[in-house]
Amino acid sequence: SDELKIAVGAMELADKVVEQVMTKIDDVFMLPDETILNAKTIAEIVRIGYTRIPVYSEGDRNNVTGLLIVKDLALLDPDDNFSVRTVCGYHQHTVKYVFNDTPLAIVLENFKKGDGHLAMVKKVHVSEESAEDPSYDLVGLVTLEDIVEEILQAE
Ligand code: ATP
Ligand code: ATP
């Protein structure tokens, strides 16, 4: 039955980790913070259709510094030519992070507690040089939708 499938899907959240359901970083639509929000770029962002867009700085997609919520664009005058950086600085939506190996049940709990139902996924960058100062790579993005899908699609 559908009810049984959903129950099984919910139980499987304990065994599955973020990496298995996230959107991989190469498929994540992000914007550089210097993007100018004119009529053309706003139309393009709206056309692409995502509600939340990670914003990166210094041309480095690994360096996500903000989140643009498409709703923030509604009251913007395209002729003001504000940058994405300016709009993000005004709204200051915090970016959440989770590790790639976090169980989905934990991510779901975090989403229930907080306001934003999206997190960037990071992974420890293994390098030979320094063991004391680990760095991180962004490997994807996960939303509540990805977890709900997992619950509903269990076999
Ligand atoms: P909403 O449904 O609230 O309008 P949305 O459609 O933008 O938001 P979600 O419904 O949360 O996004 O997620 C749908 C799918 O899109 C998920 O697989 C999620 O990982 C992916 N996704 C969300 N935002 C982005 C983005 N900026 N770039 C690429 N994929 C994204
Ligand atoms: P709410 O009525 O839920 O308080 P709001 O009207 O204050 O939202 P925003 O805070 O701009 O509007 O949020 C708009 C949408 O973006 C909401 O769906 C919210 O869940 C999402 N959102 C806001 N902040 C974040 C965040 N830090 N991470 C992910 N999603 C976020």
User: Which residue from 67, 145, 149, 153 has its CB within 8 A of the most atoms of ligand 1, so it is best to mutate?
Assistant: 145
Q: What is the CA radius of gyration of the chain?
A: 18
More confident: 155 or 152: 152
Model-level pTM?
0.85
Residue nearest to atom 2 of ligand 2 (CA): 115
- Residue 122: other Cβ atoms inside 10 A: 19
What pLDDT digit, counting tens, does each position of 86-99 carry? 999 999 999 999 99
Ligand 1 atom closest to Cα of 23? 20
- What does the pLDDT read at residue 10? 76
Beta-strand runs (E) in the chain: 23-24, 31-32, 52-56, 64-69, 97-99, 118-125, 135-143
What pLDDT digit, counting tens, does each position of 110-146 carry? 999 987 899 999 999 877 766 667 789 999 999 999 9
- Which amino acid makes up residue 128? E
ipTM metric = 0.82
